[in-house]
């Protein structure tokens, strides 16, 4: 087997996610044979540093020996069992663990098998909670501009990235969207904190006006990842928690991308010392091994569904692979790694190294901003640094960086004109330098005309 033969077979039968397949007439698909740590290897023996954690899922490297071991042991015992009416050890242990490590007040865990499904569950549960309380007029959601919550219709509706959403507009429920605290747009000299506070006014007014018909506000805490790694200050979450309490509206924290240490704390909500009413987890939950997601919620929410069957208040939602045993084991091993090693402390060192390696980008004539929250660092390319005029999207500058980086053995997958690093936590300082060096030359090449 070599790259070429597998690519040929692939293109005959496979339709890839988030891709214009015609691009692959020019842009070679990369068939991966194996992975180890931050490195992926193709069938021709080329190696690629996975600087984006394979779409933000991988935390402790590919083929991590400890996670491998846990999944293998589970495989020989029980691969999967129906979770309706049945249970198993891994599902129980993981739910206990998640209740223990997530912010206080989150006491019940509902499983699904991917991030979008977790969002659908949180939306349905919130609506259904109010309905069970006799308040079915509460049927709307408030979302932030530039947010992303997944691709299924409900998740797409509460998201706000035009590229993914606009085409399907006629299929989507109406939501109320408010100004994003995204600090890229702050005034010169204004702090993240001041800007985030200022932007909260729109949320406050919207809640004041619509609270009676709103079930929940949904946000990505601290970083709007798919929206271009746009970042904001924790104070926004503090204000939001207070306002949601005041107006009797749920707060849904979508920590699918930012959870499990990406922002510097285990969960991003911790930086605002808040507890949401619903927390959605997926991606890093299994260390990037298996599709699994969880929605954590409060006992108050749970109790509103708990009643005699005849009263028809139950949450009748399921997915076939809910609480899959292999996924739960991978998740337990992943959380075990956080607890047996000083991961968050070590990440502080790595985050500093990333910041240092990206220092030179700040002066680049086509870089408007270098921003960082913990283990996520983003570089915003623009046509004009002074006016921040963006490059026309048709020019696909980010794609040029992607292609160049691949030729140098680094997997970067820019979001439009935003180049970012979101590596697995097993990356070394010299690998961080390599990643930044390749990105630098890629950006030089992509911005030279």
Ligand X SMILES: *Cc1c(COP(=O)(O)O)cnc(C)c1O
What's the gap between Cα 416 and its chain centre? 17
Is residue 254 marked as binding?
yes
**Closest distance to ligand X from the beta carbon of 377 (Å):** 17
**Closest distance to ligand X from the beta carbon of 255 (Å):** 8
Q: How many residues bind ligand X, per CB under 6 A?
A: 15
Biggest CA-to-CA distance, the chain:
69
Using a 10 angstrom Cβ sphere, with 0-12 exposed, 13-18 middle and 19 or more buried, the burial of residue 108 is: middle
DSSP secondary structure code for residue 170 in this structure: G
Pair 372, 351: CB distance under 8 Å = yes
Residues whose CB falls within 8 Å of the CB of residue 399, separated by 6 or more in sequence, listed in order:
27, 414
Does residue 154 interact with ligand X by CB under 6 A? no
Does residue 70 interact with ligand X by CB under 6 A? no
Does residue 116 interact with ligand X by CB under 6 A? yes
Q: For the chain, what's the residue count?
A: 449
Q: How far lies 24's CA from each of 1, 21, 42, 392, in Å?
A: 20, 6, 17, 22
Is residue 212 marked as binding?
no
Is residue 39 marked as binding?
no
Is residue 147 marked as binding?
no
Does residue 288 interact with ligand X by CB under 6 A? no
Is residue 115 marked as binding?
yes
Our CB check for ligand X shows the closer of 263 and 447 to be 263
Q: Which residue has the tokens 């071991």?
A: 69
Our CB check for ligand X shows the closer of 7 and 253 to be 253
**Closest distance to ligand X from the beta carbon of 289 (Å):** 13
Pair 279, 253: CB distance under 8 Å = yes
- Residue 56's region, left for phi above 0, alpha for psi from -120 to 50, else beta, is left
Our CB check for ligand X shows the closer of 98 and 256 to be 256
Closest C-alpha to 121, from 5, 251, 293 = 293
Sign of the alpha-carbon dihedral angle for 222, 181, 283, 109: positive
Is residue 22 marked as binding?
no
**Closest distance to ligand X from the beta carbon of 232 (Å):** 14
Give the CB-nearest residue to ligand X.
Answer: 115
Sign of the alpha-carbon dihedral angle for 290, 64, 224, 411: negative
Our CB check for ligand X shows the closer of 16 and 360 to be 16
Pair 249, 295: CB distance under 8 Å = no
Our CB check for ligand X shows the closer of 163 and 201 to be 163
Q: In whole angstroms, what is the distance from residue 199 CA to residue 187 CA?
A: 12
Our CB check for ligand X shows the closer of 121 and 357 to be 121
Our CB check for ligand X shows the closer of 148 and 440 to be 148
Does residue 146 interact with ligand X by CB under 6 A? no
Mask for 251-270, x = binds ligand X (CB under 6 A): ---x-xx-------------
Does residue 220 interact with ligand X by CB under 6 A? yes
**Options 103, 115, 287, 323; binder of ligand X; rule CB under 6 A:** 115
Our CB check for ligand X shows the closer of 162 and 201 to be 162
**Options 62, 88, 149, 413; binder of ligand X; rule CB under 6 A:** 149
Two tokens, residue 31 = 């068939």
Q: In whole angstroms, what is the distance from residue 96 CA to residue 108 CA?
A: 9
Q: In whole angstroms, what is the distance from residue 381 CA to residue 419 CA?
A: 8
Does residue 112 interact with ligand X by CB under 6 A? no
Two tokens, residue 52 = 């984006």
Our CB check for ligand X shows the closer of 225 and 294 to be 225
Is residue 277 marked as binding?
no
Is residue 116 marked as binding?
yes
* 3-class DSSP state of 151: coil
Pair 256, 293: CB distance under 8 Å = yes
**Closest distance to ligand X from the beta carbon of 54 (Å):** 12
Instruction: Using the CB atoms, write b or e for 1-21: b if 16+ within 10 Å.
Output: eebeebbeeeeeeeeeeeeee
**Options 7, 222, 225, 353; binder of ligand X; rule CB under 6 A:** 225
Q: In whole angstroms, what is the distance from residue 444 CA to residue 449 CA?
A: 10
Site for ligand X in 312-371 (CB under 6 A): none
**Options 102, 196, 275, 282; binder of ligand X; rule CB under 6 A:** 282
- Of 80-88, 95-103, 220-228, 344-352, which part binds ligand X (CB under 6 A)? 220-228
> Can you give the binding site for ligand X, defined by CB under 6 A?
114-116, 119, 148-150, 220, 225-226, 254, 256-257, 282-283
Q: Could you tell me which residues are annotated as the binding site for pyridoxal 5'-phosphate?
A: 115-116, 254, 319-320
Q: Could you tell me which residues are annotated as the binding site?
A: 55, 115-116, 148, 254, 283, 318-320, 413
């Amino acid at each position: 087997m070599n790259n070429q033969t597998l690519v040929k077979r692939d293109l005959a039968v496979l339709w890839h996610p988030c891709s214009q397949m015609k691009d692959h007439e020019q842009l070679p698909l990369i068939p991966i044979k194996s992975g180890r740590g931050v490195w992926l290897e193709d069938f021709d023996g080329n190696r690629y540093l996975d600087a984006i954690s394979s779409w933000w899922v991988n935390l402790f490297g590919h083929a991590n020996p400890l996670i491998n071991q846990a999944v293998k042991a589970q495989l020989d015992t029980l691969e999967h069992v129906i979770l309706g009416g049945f249970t198993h050890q891994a599902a129980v242990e993981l739910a206990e663990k998640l209740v223990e490590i997530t912010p206080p007040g989150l006491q019940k865990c509902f499983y699904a098998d991917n991030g979008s499904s977790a969002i659908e569950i949180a939306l349905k549960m919130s609506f259904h909670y109010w309905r069970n309380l006799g308040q079915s007029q509460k049927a709307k959601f408030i979302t932030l501009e530039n947010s992303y919550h997944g691709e299924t219709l409900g998740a797409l509706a509460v998201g706000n990235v035009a590229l993914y959403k606009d085409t399907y507009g006629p299929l989507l429920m109406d939501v109320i969207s408010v100004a994003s605290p995204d600090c890229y747009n702050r005034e010169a000299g204004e702090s993240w904190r001041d800007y985030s506070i200022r932007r909260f006014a729109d949320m406050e007014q919207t809640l004041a006006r619509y609270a009676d018909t709103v079930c929940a506000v949904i946000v990505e805490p601290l970083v709007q990842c798919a929206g271009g790694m746009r970042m904001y200050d924790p104070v926004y979450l503090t204000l939001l928690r207070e306002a949601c309490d005041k107006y009797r509206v749920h707060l849904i924290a979508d920590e699918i991308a930012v959870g499990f240490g990406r922002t510097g704390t285990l969960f991003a909500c911790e930086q605002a010392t808040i507890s949401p009413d619903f927390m959605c987890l997926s991606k890093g939950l299994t260390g990037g091994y298996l599709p699994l997601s969880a929605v954590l919620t409060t006992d108050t929410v749970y109790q509103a569904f708990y009643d005699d069957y005849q009263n028809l208040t139950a949450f009748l939602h399921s997915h076939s692979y809910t609480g899959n045993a292999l996924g739960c084991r991978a998740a337990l091993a992943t959380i075990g790694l956080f607890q047996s090693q000083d991961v968050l402390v070590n990440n502080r060192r790595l985050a500093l190294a990333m910041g240092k390696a990206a220092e030179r980008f700040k002066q680049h004539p086509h870089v408007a901003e270098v921003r960082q929250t913990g283990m996520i660092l983003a570089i915003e390319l623009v046509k004009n640094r002074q006016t921040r005029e963006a490059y026309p999207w048709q020019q696909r500058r980010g794609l040029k960086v992607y292609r160049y980086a691949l030729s140098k053995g680094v997997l970067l997958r820019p979001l439009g004109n935003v180049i970012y690093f979101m590596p697995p936590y097993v990356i070394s300082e010299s690998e961080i330098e390599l990643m930044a060096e390749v990105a630098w030359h890629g950006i030089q090449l992509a911005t030279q005309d």
